[in-house]
Structure 1
Amino acid sequence: MVIVFALVALAVLAAVAGLHWYVWRRLVRDTTRGPGPARRAGTTLFVAGPVLMIAALLTERAGAPFWLQRTLSWPGFLWMALALYLLLGVLAGELIRPLLNRLSRPPVPAPPGRPSRTESGQGPAVQEAEPPGTAPTAPDPARRLFVSRVVAGAAATAALATVGHGTYGVLRGPRVTRVTVPLAKLPRAAHGFRIAVVSDIHLGPVLGRGFAQRVVDTVNATRPDLIAVVGDLVDGSVQDLGPAAAPLARLSARHGAYFVTGNPA
């Protein structure tokens, strides 16, 4: 069993390393002119990012000291999200790279010393074929570098914008979506009964007491008749997350608040 686990872990690490190498190659190596500060900085980022990501996962699973989990979680999990969107952006860029190469290719001039038929007065111009064995024109390094930078810039911008927008949305706190549920057999006395449904709070090393307080303020502002927290309330132990979860005691509803700490079966 231990051997199987080790083999699976090695396979996962190899896959993670291979995908990071591929993204590094497209975003760093292909966009820089040889070794230099820019390439060194990009390489450092693509080494430190996955190391922090794996460290964050391992410390959370192993129950490491909570201060260590909090230290590693933000950079580690942010890199996980960013790396995923960078990979998707690079893969999408592979689809448009041939088109950009074709559009940026300059026109090929006619070979010198071979006048066309129009120049010799013998009819319309005809493209003469290259003699057998003629070497094709080598790709222009400047053009290749330009295309790589355009694709890499677009992929990095899209990934940063997506992760940044998502992070801002989480830190800002939950937003209220109002849904009316018509029930034909609902007693008249229950018309207008308001249930505040909250899910996926995920209090843990990343989201702590401040986030819990924003959840409480948002839910209480809707003045619900009943509150239902339907799953994924915490990611961790009571000892670590007790202070972070303390504001949830101030959830207020006429018929009470009900919790499911994990995912309902």
Structure 2
Amino acid sequence: MTPARVVLAWLALGVLLGWLAWLYRRLAVAPGYGRRARWAALAFVVVGAVGYGAANVVYRYLDPAPVRSLVWLGLAWLAVAWYLTLGLAVLGLAGLVLRLARRPAAQARLLRVGTAVVLVAALGLTAYGAVAATRPQITDIEVVDPEVPPGWDGARIALITDLHVGPVHGEEWTRRVVDLVDEQDPDLVLLGGDLVDGREKYTRETLAPLADLDPPLGVFAVTGNHEFETGDAAAYLADYERLGIQVLRNQQVVLERDGDPLVLAGVHDRTGTGDGEPDPDAALAGVTPEAYCLLLVHQPRQLEDVDDPAVVDLQLSGHTHGGQLWPTELLVRAEQPTVAGLDVVDGVQVVTGRGIGTSGTPVRVGSPPEVVVVTLDRDP
């Protein structure tokens, strides 16, 4: 590890420990609670943080299936801590105003009552988000473009992104998603990356139901950052292909519907290296503005890597999770040009799915899981 990385690692550790210490103080010390409350707050912070770290180690390097409920619990801690942080920060600012106004009694009452309210709200939001994350829905999006080839007018494209099977979801979750997609009877199914988390030898079986996807125009996939982060990207891509999924490795295919062609191009995720390095020029080689072209990439911002966006008529992406935990969509917007739904980026229509799974924590607040079904419509 280089000296710069060592310094960054120590800085990150310092920030983490500082945040945990702040969280403990705001939970128990600032409101002046008694000894039992302080011990409870200390246990929540220390045991929760250790549990979250342990859950990440387990699912990244070991088989999570035997301890999936414990992994779920460890990862869920992050959502509670997130909402506690937001609520306690607002409460602290309000307390500071009263302090500056020299109203110590009012400040003490606010902190004592308000901290309890924030704790209940954080637990309530997490519980709500945990349930919401298990209720996937279909989101219908109509893309109107007079350039859609006549034979593709009315075509339905199912976009599945961010499945994230492994840590908290197993084969039964994949089956549920496949059944949901099959009910929509799409012409084409696109998998937008981040289908997995963890090591391939433990997770491959959770993908088996994907073999039952059988739309008339096929199933195509691109990589996401998590395929590469597992360290098993090559093995996972081989698994996808054994399941009958065609992986677009900086490639394009020409599909026909009712006699009219459409170009589908797919590019590796930005995090890919070596054989997995993204190459949009290769994927779009020879595509002219006259051809109708769909670009499948994991991250919405990958459109900026395309030298000539004019050759792309519609981009389909995922990655953002729609923010997953309100209000993190505000942070996502600082990195990505769009967060969810249909938008226009650099003159190109972009559909971004919120994803069907979860990452980091098995909780979704303000961003329910979805499969997007895009209908192409040539009538303006």
Q: What is the TM-score when the length of structure 2 is the normalising length?
A: 0.54
Paired residue secondary structure (1:177): strand
Give SS of 1:201's match: coil
Paired residue secondary structure (1:85): helix
Structure 2 distance, partners of 1:237, 1:51, is 22
1:20-99 → structure 2 map (5 Å cutoff):
20-35=20-35, 37-61=36-60, 63-67=61-65, 70=68, 72-98=70-96
Sequence identity of aligned pairs in percent?
Answer: 34
**Contact 1:101–1:144 at 8 Å: present in 2 too?**
yes
Q: Are the equivalent residues in 1 in contact too, given 2:174–2:206 (CA < 8 A)?
A: yes
Spell out, residue by residue over 1:151-180, the C-alpha distance to the aligned partner (whole angstroms, 9 max, x if none): 3134323433333232212222x2111111
Q: Unaligned stretches of 5+ in structure 2?
A: 226-267, 270-380
CA contact (8 A) 2:64 2:71 kept: no
Residues 212, 245 of structure 1: 8 Å contact kept? yes
**Highest Rg: 1 or 2?**
1
2:122 maps to which residue? 159
Answering whether residue 105 of structure 2 is matched by residue 176 of structure 1, we say no
1:32·1:38 contact (CA, 8 Å) conserved in 2?
Answer: no
> Does the 8 Å CA contact 1:52/1:76 hold for their aligned counterparts?
yes
Q: Which residue of 2 aligns with 1:238?
A: 200
**Maintained 8 Å contact 2:27/2:115:** yes
Q: Which has the higher contact order (CA 8 A, sep 6+)?
A: 2
Please state how far the C-alpha of 1:4 moved relative to its aligned partner.
5.0
Looking at structure 2, the residues matched to 29 and 205 of structure 1 have their Cα atoms a distance apart, in angstroms, of 35
- CA–CA separation in structure 2 for the residues paired with 1:41 and 1:238: 38
Give per-residue Cα distances to partners, 1:36-63, cap 9 Å, x unaligned. x3322222111101111222233444x2
Paired residues of 1:203 and 1:233 also in contact (CA < 8 A): yes
Map 1:1-265 to 2 at 5 A: 1=1, 4-35=4-35, 37-61=36-60, 63-67=61-65, 70=68, 72-98=70-96, 105=103, 139-140=104-105, 143-172=106-135, 174-263=136-225, 264-265=268-269
Q: State TM-score, norm by structure 1.
A: 0.74
CA contact (8 A) 2:79 2:126 kept: yes
Deviation at 1:248, TM superposition (A): 1.6
Paired letter, 2:17: A
Q: Distance in 1 between matches of 2:175 and 2:101?
A: 54
RMSD over aligned Cα, in angstroms? 2.7
Deviation at 1:185, TM superposition (A): 2.5
What amino acid sits opposite 2:39 in the alignment? Answer: R
Higher strand share: 2
Report the 3-state secondary structure (helix = DSSP H, G, I; strand = E; otherwise coil) of the residue aligned with 1:178. Answer: strand
**Which residue type is aligned with residue 205 of structure 1?**
P
Structure 1 residues 57-83: Cα deviation after superposition (integer angstroms, max 9, x where no partner):
33444x234457736531222112221
* Aligned equivalents of 1:184, 1:161: Cα separation in 2: 47
